[in-house]
């Protein structure tokens, strides 16, 4: 849990450098991961207690309800993990798409500058030799 909190603090420290979407993603990620970490700790305790529980000690109904709840918690943790995977894939896919667009724009700008240079023109559109040698 401490590592989750440290990651959140780092995200908050860089909040001025990142956009609101990034901070919102990190906040939701922290909530999911803290919840799943706490539930895994609770499951560890539940499994230890479950070793003590037997049908003879608590009866079949209590036994079934107890283990049913444990299974539900396991399923919830699995759902949180799946949500984290999907959210992370979506978030970084969006970032990757933005970088691809920016790369394409930069490459187009570079081609424009190179073609202008090959034509003997300055990148600003003017003739590089204009105005020289005139007195």
Would you kindly state where each structural domain of the chain is located, as residue ranges? 2-118
pLDDT at 14 (0 to 100):
67
pLDDT value for 135: 40
Q: What is the pLDDT of residue 133?
A: 47
What pLDDT, on a 0 to 100 scale, did the predictor assign at position 111?
A: 92
Q: Judge whether 73 and 43 are in contact, CB under 8 Å.
A: yes
> Degrees (nearest 5) of the Cα angle 122, 125, 130?
65
Which burial class, exposed, middle or buried, applies to 100 when counting CB atoms under 10 A from its CB (0-12, 13-18, 19+)? exposed
Q: What's the CA gap between 67 and 46, in Å, rounded?
A: 9
* Per-residue model confidence (pLDDT) at position 102: 94
Per-residue model confidence (pLDDT) at position 119: 73
User: Are 26 and 8 in contact, with CB atoms under 8 Å apart?
Assistant: yes
Can you list the residues of the chain whose pLDDT is less than 70? Answer: 1-18, 120-135
């Amino acid at each position: 849990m401490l590592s989750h909190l440290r990651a959140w603090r780092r995200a908050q420290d860089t909040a001025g450098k990142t956009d609101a979407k990034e901070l919102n993603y990190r906040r939701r990620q922290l909530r999911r991961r803290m919840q799943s970490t706490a539930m895994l700790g609770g499951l560890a305790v539940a499994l230890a207690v479950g070793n003590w529980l037997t049908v003879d000690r608590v009866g079949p109904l209590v036994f079934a309800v107890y283990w049913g709840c444990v299974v539900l918690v396991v399923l919830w943790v699995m759902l949180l993990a799946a949500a984290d995977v999907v959210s992370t894939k979506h978030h970084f896919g969006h970032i990757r798409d933005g970088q691809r667009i920016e790369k394409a724009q930069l490459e187009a700008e570079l081609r424009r500058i190179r073609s202008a240079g090959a034509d003997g023109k300055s990148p600003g559109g003017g003739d590089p030799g204009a105005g020289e040698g005139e007195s």
